[in-house]
Amino acid sequence: MNSFQRHNTRRPTKALFAVTVLAAVVVSIDIFSGGAVRSFARTSVAAILQVTNSAQNRIFSSDIFSSRAALRNENEALREEVRALTTLKTENTVLRAENTALKGLITVASEYEGGISTRIISRATASPYGTVMLGAGSDDAVAVGDIVVAPGEVVIGIVADVDSSQSLVQLFFAPGVQTDVRVGEEAFVAEGRGSQNATIEVPRGISIVEGDPVYLAGSPFLLGYVEHAALKPVDAIYTIYIGMPFNISSLSFVRAVRR
């Protein structure tokens, strides 16, 4: 290997080594500071996500792409008027969607007082750990252990980590997450399987059929519905598959309530 090749391959390795050491330092600082670096990272990213979510809502509710060709054919005066009306319509659509979502939470609030309605700010599909970020934290009285409820009194997860202005929710249907549930009068442990599915192991003799509601144990909140029961003639225990009644990606607002 000539001197050029040595120079070309060793320098990047030095950078890699330096970043590895720096990473170890950052992680150590975060651990010993009780999550200060992580909190800073989440706060920064939450600000970015709030802006992108707002922009996305406005773009998709304004019909800007479909109306562009039509606007080009109109005269200047009408164009100005259309722009003004489009802006008003956009704001109205966004407000109406938020209003509808918040109205769905009113029934939950009436049963479990003391909670807070908040927006989901991260993509539910982006986390490899089955978590989502909420736009409310300890400053808004959100605490670790709070249950997170979607419109329709459907529980989706539990607050696992709280910063001052945002919190992290562990979804019940995330892979490996175990949750105490109730089907009828019987208590079971549901295990998350990802993709908004969970399973429970049921001893033979207990009758559970497709469509039965599954509730979070010790609460009136729905976790999901029985979608499929895998029963073989020789099994002493059979597996019940539970599914969420909606797509979590479609959720905008949830409510964090004290357990």
Partner 1 sequence: MVRIILAVSAYASVLFAPPWVPLIIAGVLALRFSAWEIIPLGILIDFLYLPHTEGDVFNGPWGIPFPATLIALVLAWGFEPIRRQWMR
Which residues in this chain contact partner 1 in the complex, by CB under 8 A? 1, 5, 8-9, 12-13, 15-16, 18-20, 23, 26-27, 30-31, 35, 37-38, 41-42, 45, 48-49, 52, 122-123, 125-129, 131, 133, 144, 160-161, 168, 170, 175-176
Instruction: Output 26 or 187, the one with its CB closest to partner 1.
Output: 26
Tell the smallest beta-carbon distance from residue 158 to partner 1 (Å): 9
Instruction: Output 165 or 170, the one with its CB closest to partner 1.
Output: 170
Q: Which residues contact 201 (CB under 8 A, 6 or more apart)?
A: 188, 189, 237, 238, 239, 240
Q: Could you give the 3-state DSSP secondary structure of residue 194? A: strand
Tell the smallest beta-carbon distance from residue 213 to partner 1 (Å): 27
Instruction: Output 93 or 127, the one with its CB closest to partner 1.
Output: 127
What type of residue sits at position 7?
H
Exposed/middle/buried for residue 196 (C-beta within 10 Å: 0-12, 13-18, 19+): buried
Tell the smallest beta-carbon distance from residue 5 to partner 1 (Å): 7
Exposed/middle/buried for residue 116 (C-beta within 10 Å: 0-12, 13-18, 19+): middle
How many whole angstroms separate alpha carbon 148 and alpha carbon 55?
25
Tell the smallest beta-carbon distance from residue 199 to partner 1 (Å): 17
Tell the smallest beta-carbon distance from residue 142 to partner 1 (Å): 14
Tell the smallest beta-carbon distance from residue 76 to partner 1 (Å): 37
How many whole angstroms separate alpha carbon 243 and alpha carbon 247?
10
Instruction: Output 143 or 231, the one with its CB closest to partner 1.
Output: 143
Instruction: Output 195 or 207, the one with its CB closest to partner 1.
Output: 195
How many whole angstroms separate alpha carbon 177 and alpha carbon 182?
16
Looking up tokens 């009113």 gives 106
Tell the smallest beta-carbon distance from residue 217 to partner 1 (Å): 19
Instruction: Output 41 or 82, the one with its CB closest to partner 1.
Output: 41
Q: Which residues contact 235 (CB under 8 A, 6 or more apart)?
A: 204
Q: Could you give the 3-state DSSP secondary structure of residue 125? A: coil
Looking up tokens 């992580």 gives 38
Instruction: Output 19 or 106, the one with its CB closest to partner 1.
Output: 19
How many whole angstroms separate alpha carbon 214 and alpha carbon 211?
9
How many whole angstroms separate alpha carbon 181 and alpha carbon 143?
22
